[in-house]
Amino acid sequence: MTMDLKTGRLYWPATYKEPQAYPSVEADLECDVVIIGAGVSGACTAYELKDTGLDVIVIDKRTVAAGSSSANTGLLQFSNDQLLFEAIRSFGEKAAVDHYWRCYDAISRLRDEIVPSLSVDPDLIMRDSLFFASNEEEKEVVEQEYQALKKAGFDATYLEPDEMEKWVPFKRPAAMLTKGDAEVNPYKLTYGLIQAAADSGVRIFEQTEVFLKKADDEGVLLRTEGGYIIKAKKAIFSQGYETQETVKEKNAVIESSYAIVTNQLKDLSFWKDNVMIWESARPYFYARSTADGRIVMGGLDERTSDPDKRDQMIVSKRKQLLAEIESWFPQLKGEVQADFEWSGSFAHMHDGQPVIGQYDRVPNSYFLLGYGGNGIVYSLFLSKLIARHLMGEKDEAFSFYSHERVYETT
Ligand SMILES: Cc1cc2nc3c(=O)[nH]c(=O)nc-3n(C[C@H](O)[C@H](O)[C@H](O)COP(=O)(O)OP(=O)(O)OC[C@H]3O[C@@H](n4cnc5c(N)ncnc54)[C@H](O)[C@@H]3O)c2cc1C
């Protein structure tokens, strides 16, 4: 079964017109590890396993990056939808702070180690993030978050309304600037990671849906839609939100989100350093720029998982997102329009943390569930944790993301 993950005019595929194509499965296959899904989470996993000496296969029923990874707006932030001071309340200071540093380190590693090794340039640009209080009552949220980030050692600067105006042409009761985030083209990133894995001998297959036939102490058997059998010692399910069709994770919630990408704009100099912008309200508006001078704005999440209901709202959401751009950047009135707009299903976990699932009913398998607004950042480090675990290396962090996690709060 195929889930309707997104609808509309997508921007990222238009930036990379002739991506590498991969064959479909046309025979029975055997391998050490099979990765199901070639979105950004499967691509990260393939990248992590490419030099381990294991025989690895990646299979996708669509083409590479054609699931949620093409609907992604490509903001890489160490801050999560669940703010640090909130995470500390839920999970205790050490666990929450460690989790935030893991997110931060994942972005740094992407910049320093991963991107330089790719043959496809994913347009990664390091950007500061501007987080603002949506109204007077939310000022306290920014203050608390600022204190929590500073205490944990992050580079954060508190901004009074007049100081905020040096960055963007509008002011709110309070704001904060953080360093260490980045913007990326998620589509090119996924292709780049997959290409790097393929260059190291990982076998990539597209247009082949697979179904779990059997998982036991011996390994995992998958059946393709064409009736071929794939036999693997281990399986890593990185099917994105469609993983819920293989194993239902009770912590996961599926909702809907919206985004637009504007026309190319002549001048964005009123938006200092094109800092990435987001706010304290929930759901929140967020914005970034693109390598070719457009604005990406997203938000207006709806609590529906029904794609028909989700898509009925695309036109009105486009209008609201454009209106928000004009209210933030009045200079653009009359000049700005949406060249691309789409809706997408969007999942997060009830408790705010991503999950590595290992379920008794599916032995020898990992489920990479990087759900939440930081899906790419989560995939970057969860894939590494899974790869290390699979290679028999111990990592304390692994259990923090277990679907059976028990937190010790202070
Ligand atoms: C509007 C919107 C904006 C977002 N913005 C951001 C953002 O700014 N930053 C961020 O980090 N995250 C963002 N996200 C979240 C992000 O898109 C996801 O976290 C991420 O793309 C998920 O990647 P994935 O590889 O897990 O899933 P997908 O990209 O969906 O990949 C899963 C793949 O598995 C394949 N598959 C599924 N079932 C099977 C099967 N049975 N057989 C074979 N193949 C199968 C699918 O075809 C698919 O290609 C956003 C999401 C939306 C909707």
- Ligand 1 contact via 257 beta carbon (within 6 Å): yes
Please work out whether the CB of residue 89 comes within 6 Å of at least one atom of ligand 1: no
Tens-place pLDDT, residues 9-35: 999 999 999 999 999 999 999 999 999
CA 200, 203, 206, 209 dihedral sign is: negative
Question: How many angstroms does the Cα of residue 172 sit away from the middle of ligand 1?
Answer: 33
Residue 81's pLDDT is 92
Residue 136 class from Cβ within 10 Å (0-12 exposed, 13-18 middle, 19+ buried)? Answer: exposed
- DSSP reduced 3-state for 281: coil
Residue with tokens 């921007």: 11
Residues 6+ apart with CB under 8 A from 333: 326
CA–centroid distance, residue 129 to ligand 1 (Å): 23
Write down the pLDDT at residue 407.
62
Rounded average pLDDT over 102-121:
98
What pLDDT sits at residue 22?
98
CB atoms within 10 A of CB 239: 25
Please give the pLDDT value at position 406: 66
pLDDT band at 131 (very low <50, low <70, confident <90, very high): very high
360 CA to middle of ligand 1, Å? 25
**178, β-bridge pairs:** 129, 156
Kindly report, residue by residue over 52-91, the tens digit of the pLDDT.
Answer: 999 999 999 999 999 999 999 999 999 999 999 999 999 9
Q: What is the mean pLDDT of residues 95-119?
A: 98
* Cβ atoms 103, 78 nearer than 8 A: yes
Share of the chain above pLDDT 70, in %: 99
Which of 174, 203, 156 shows the shortest CA–CA distance to 56? Answer: 203
- Distance CA(45)–CA(369), nearest Å, equals 12
Beta strand 6-9 with 338-349: parallel, antiparallel or unpaired? antiparallel
Greatest Cα-to-Cα distance within the chain, rounded to the nearest angstrom: 65
Q: Where are the alpha helices (DSSP H) in 110-218?
A: 139-151, 161-164, 186-199
Choose one of 6, 7, 48, 68 to mutate for the ligand 1 pocket test, by most ligand atoms within 8 angstroms of C-beta: 68
Residue 410 — pLDDT band, cuts 50, 70, 90? very low
In 10 A of CB 250, how many CB atoms? 8
pLDDT classification of 196: cutoffs 50, 70, 90: very high
Answer left, alpha or beta for residue 274, where phi above 0 means left and psi between -120 and 50 means alpha. Answer: left
Out of 64, 239, 247, 256, mutate this one to test ligand 1's pocket (max ligand atoms within 8 Å of CB): namely 239
Give residue 171 CA to ligand 1 midpoint distance, Å: 34
pLDDT tens digit sequence for 208-217? 999 999 999 9
Residue 358 has pLDDT above 50, yes or no: yes
Report the pLDDT averaged over residues 247-273. 92
Contact in structure between 289 and 273 (CB atoms under 8 Å): no
Domains of the chain by range and CATH?
7-14+22-124+184-249+351-410 (3.50.50.60), 127-182+252-349 (3.30.9.10)
Q: Is 374 in the pocket of ligand 1 (CB under 6 A)?
A: yes
Instruction: Give me the pLDDT at residue 403, please.
Output: 86
Residue given tokens 């992407």 in the structure block: 110
User: Is ligand 1 within 6 A of the CB of residue 148?
Assistant: no
186 cis-preceded (ω within 30 degrees of 0): no
**pLDDT at residue 365 greater than cutoff 60:** yes
Averaged confidence pLDDT in the chain? 95
**Any atom of ligand 1 within 6 Å of the Cβ of 240:** yes
Give 340's pLDDT tier (boundaries 50, 70, 90): very high
- Please indicate whether residue 73, judged by its CB atom, sits closer than 6 Å to ligand 1: yes
Q: Is the CB of 185 under 6 A from ligand 1?
A: no
What is the 121 CA–ligand 1 centroid distance (Å)? Answer: 20
